[in-house]
Amino acid sequence: MHELGITRNIVAIAADAAKGRRVLRVTLDVGRLAGVMTEAIQFCFETVAAGTALDGAQLDINEITGRAKCQACGSVYDTPTLFTACVCGSRACERLSGEELKIRSIELEEAA
Ligand SMILES: [Zn+2]
């Protein structure tokens, strides 16, 4: 499963960034067009996090709606799929959001 690899990467990056401190919460930005199942990431997270700096941490997933800018008429519109055309009929667009998959923030335990 592709989401297991993604979850392992997220945990590895967050654990590295924590530099020995405990991670309490990780927030991800996941575009609805990124091609990943957020439920699967949630499902894997606890198991992958066990025994790392993220053991017991909360995972929040912020889903980002797909948006694009039409190159024909300049309007900005929501794209529920990668193939959604503009109302003017053009499919030539610049992707603005919806394909991201990144860590937005990491909340660490206060240093004692
Ligand atoms: Zn257009």
pLDDT tens track for 65-104: 999 999 999 999 999 999 999 999 999 999 999 999 999 9
Q: What is the Cα–Cα distance from 76 to 60, expressed in whole angstroms? A: 28
* Residue 105, token pair as written in the block: 């923030």
pLDDT of residue 66: 97
Which residues are within 8 A (CB) of 36 and not within 5 positions of it... i.e. 6 or more apart? 2, 3, 6, 30, 101
pLDDT of residue 15: 97
pLDDT of residue 111: 73
Identify the CATH assignment for 2-64+98-108 out of 3.30.2320.50, 3.20.20.140, 3.20.20.105, 3.40.50.1360: 3.30.2320.50
pLDDT tens track for 26-38: 999 999 999 999 9
Sheet of 23-31, strand order: 58-64, 23-31, 101-108
**Domain positions in the chain:** 2-64+98-108
Handedness of CA 94, 98, 99, 101 (dihedral sign): positive
pLDDT of residue 1: 60
Write down the mean pLDDT value for the chain: 96
Residues at Cβ < 5 Å from ligand 1 ion: 70, 72-73, 86, 88, 90
Centre of ligand 1 to C-alpha 91, Å, is 8
Tell me phi and psi for residue 52, to 5 degrees. Answer: -110, -175
Centre of ligand 1 to C-alpha 63, Å, is 25
